[in-house]
């Protein structure tokens, strides 16, 4: 078993100060389009600038392909039974539908777990777009053939001018979980690029080639407009367990996530943001909302890790505790109805916009439809039942205790597992 590497050795080899070419955009027309592509995958179009966050389209199979060490039974994603490869065909299909002949300007990686950075190098190889992410993400990209000059490793605190009035501040964040699943939760980095299998596959375990990357990298965007700034904050994982505690890697203190976020807000001259793309449910919202005072909340990373991509959204969004809190704080909750739902952010605020053409290209229904059994189940068991972005699978476990009425849904989950064991490629 390949050991988990920690810490920051070999940072100089990455060319962390690599230059990023300015992207074309018009400061006078910097409206923002935000498209959810499943899990924590987002496409941002800011004027003429195009950015993909994570871009994980492959679906690495779930347990029992993943398994926990006997000593840490609450770390179910620690190890895998074999290497796995990128589903290049599916990534290509999504890229072609999303971009056509347009240029992709940047790739962002929220952290280095498989369900975030697995496909990011493939997007870079296909488009030439540079990657901005953590040390481990850059090492993973180098292993997959991305030139080290194409990946900028960021540690938090950086202010990056993307060009034409668009600025992103990197906020060092933590990862979901707590002391009961330390391999997933605590900040861990790779030392060096991982060694692939003979067929190019990598080990997806969070204790193998895909640690969280020293916690997460969250992103605070500001976009200049005539007379004002638009702003949004996006994080791809977090935990209320130690959101106010410093992130420490090899004795280096990277600050607490809440402190880092407050510092980024001050640096940007913001007291609120127009939108928060967030994870983690009510426990996290109660900590983050007082810092960023968002006008709108767009949920992310709530639809499971292992549900197949091509059938579309696996179940409806539901988190009553989160909704109750956001309502009390006068923050609008705008959940998705299907993969590739889009939102427009402009001076008037956030509005849902049609993604019909893109959905049609990819074979998705405009709005995902669910049978009565699924809807009844979600009424009894929240789709975000654990309030934790890597608690996916708990919805299935909760359903298992609901009796025979939910047997059809359990069959569907088992069918999805069999689907995931097929060879990589487009669905048959």
102 closest CA partner among 379, 347, 324, 358: 358
Helix (H) or strand (E) holding 46: strand 42-46
Instruction: State the pLDDT at residue 165.
Output: 94
Q: In Å, what is the CA distance from 85 to each residue of 14, 81, 122, 196, 248?
A: 24, 13, 11, 10, 31
Give CA–CA dist 313/30, Å, rounded.
Answer: 30
Contacts of 409 by beta carbon, 8 Å cutoff, 6+ apart: 373, 374, 377, 399
Give CA–CA dist 360/121, Å, rounded.
Answer: 26
Per the prediction, the chain carries an average pLDDT of: 86
Instruction: State the pLDDT at residue 424.
Output: 43
Q: What is the pLDDT of residues 372-389, one digit of tens each?
A: 888 887 777 666 654 456
- Domain extent at residue 47: 11-420
Instruction: State the pLDDT at residue 92.
Output: 98
- Asked if residue 228 belongs to a domain, the reply is yes
- Asked if residue 125 belongs to a domain, the reply is yes
- Asked if residue 428 belongs to a domain, the reply is no
- Asked if residue 285 belongs to a domain, the reply is yes
- Asked if residue 427 belongs to a domain, the reply is no
If one compares 70 and 15, the residue with the highest pLDDT of the two is 70
Say how far residue 164 (Cα) sits from the centre of its chain: 25
- Asked if residue 2 belongs to a domain, the reply is no
Structure tokens at 234: 């996006």
94 closest CA partner among 118, 114, 122, 115: 122
If one compares 427 and 403, the residue with the highest pLDDT of the two is 403
Structure tokens at 119: 């496909």
- Asked if residue 145 belongs to a domain, the reply is yes
What's the rounded mean pLDDT across residues 350-363? Answer: 94
Instruction: Decide: 18 and 318 in contact? Cβ < 8 Å.
Output: no
User: Of 161-165, 180-184, 209-213, 391-395, where does mean pLDDT reach its minimum?
Assistant: 391-395
If one compares 143 and 354, the residue with the highest pLDDT of the two is 143
Q: What angle do CA 86, 46, 53 make, to 5 degrees?
A: 25
Instruction: State the pLDDT at residue 164.
Output: 87
CATH of the domain at 317: 3.60.15.10
Q: What is the pLDDT of residues 320-340, one digit of tens each?
A: 999 999 999 999 999 999 999
Structure tokens at 271: 């007291």
Instruction: State the pLDDT at residue 132.
Output: 98
Assign 172 a pLDDT band (cuts: 50, 70, 90). very high
- Asked if residue 112 belongs to a domain, the reply is yes
Give CA–CA dist 385/224, Å, rounded.
Answer: 38
Q: In what order do the strands lie in the sheet with 216-225?
A: 159-163, 166-173, 216-225, 228-234, 275-278, 296-299, 332-333
The per-residue b/e assignment along 56-83, b for 16 or more CB within 10 angstroms, e otherwise, is bbbbbbbeebbbbeeeeeebbbbbbeeb
Beta bridge partners of 132: 108, 152
Q: What is the pLDDT of residues 45-99, one digit of tens each?
A: 999 999 999 999 999 999 999 999 999 999 999 999 999 999 999 999 999 999 9
Beta bridge partners of 219: 170, 234
Question: What secondary structure does DSSP assign to 354-386, as a single string?
Answer: --HHHHHHHT--SS----HHHHHHHHHS-TTTT
Assign 199 a pLDDT band (cuts: 50, 70, 90). very high
Report the number of distinct structural domains present in the chain.
1
């Amino acid at each position: 078993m390949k050991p988990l590497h920690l810490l920051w050795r070999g940072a100089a080899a990455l060319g962390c100060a690599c230059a990023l070419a300015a992207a074309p955009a018009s400061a006078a027309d910097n409206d923002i389009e935000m498209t959810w592509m499943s899990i924590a995958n987002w496409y941002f179009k800011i004027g003429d600038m195009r950015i993909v966050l994570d871009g994980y389209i492959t679906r690495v199979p779930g347990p029992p392909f993943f398994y926990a060490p006997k000593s840490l039974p609450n770390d179910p994603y620690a190890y895998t039974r074999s290497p796995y490869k990128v589903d290049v065909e599916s990534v290509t299909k999504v890229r072609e539908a999303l971009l056509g002949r347009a240029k992709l300007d940047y790739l962002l990686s929220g952290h280095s777990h498989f369900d975030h950075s697995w496909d990011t190098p493939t997007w870079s190889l296909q488009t030439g777009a540079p990657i901005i992410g953590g040390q481990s993400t850059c090492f993973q990209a180098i292993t997959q053939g991305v030139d080290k000059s194409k990946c900028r490793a960021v540690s938090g605190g950086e202010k990056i001018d993307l060009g034409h009035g668009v600025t992103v501040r990197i906020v060092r964040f933590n990862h979901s979980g707590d002391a009961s699943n330390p391999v997933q939760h605590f900040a861990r980095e790779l030392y060096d690029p991982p060694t692939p299998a003979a067929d190019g596959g990598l080990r997806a375990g969070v204790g193998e080639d895909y640690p969280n990357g020293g916690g997460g990298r969250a992103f605070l965007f500001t976009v200049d407009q005539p007379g004002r700034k638009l702003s949004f904050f996006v994080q791809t994982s977090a935990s209320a367990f130690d959101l106010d505690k410093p992130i420490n890697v090899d004795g280096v203190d990277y600050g607490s996530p809440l402190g880092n976020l407050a510092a980024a807000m001050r640096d940007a001259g913001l007291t609120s943001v127009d939108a928060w793309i967030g994870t983690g449910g009510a426990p996290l919202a109660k900590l983050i909302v007082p810092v960023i005072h968002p006008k709108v909340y767009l949920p992310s990373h709530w639809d499971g890790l292992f549900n197949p991509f091509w059938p579309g959204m696996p179940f409806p969004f539901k988190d009553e505790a989160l909704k109750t809190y956001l309502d009390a704080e006068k923050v609008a909750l705008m959940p998705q109805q299907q993969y590739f739902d889009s939102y427009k952010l402009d001076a008037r605020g956030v509005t849902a916009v049609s993604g019909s053409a893109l959905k049609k290209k990819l074979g998705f229904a405009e709005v995902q439809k669910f049978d009565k059994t699924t809807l009844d189940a979600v009424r009894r068991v929240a789709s975000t039942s654990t309030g934790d972005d890597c608690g996916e699978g708990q919805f299935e476990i909760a359903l298992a205790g609901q009796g025979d009425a939910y047997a059809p849904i359990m069959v569907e989950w088992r069918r999805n597992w069999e689907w995931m064991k097929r060879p990589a490629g487009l669905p048959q």
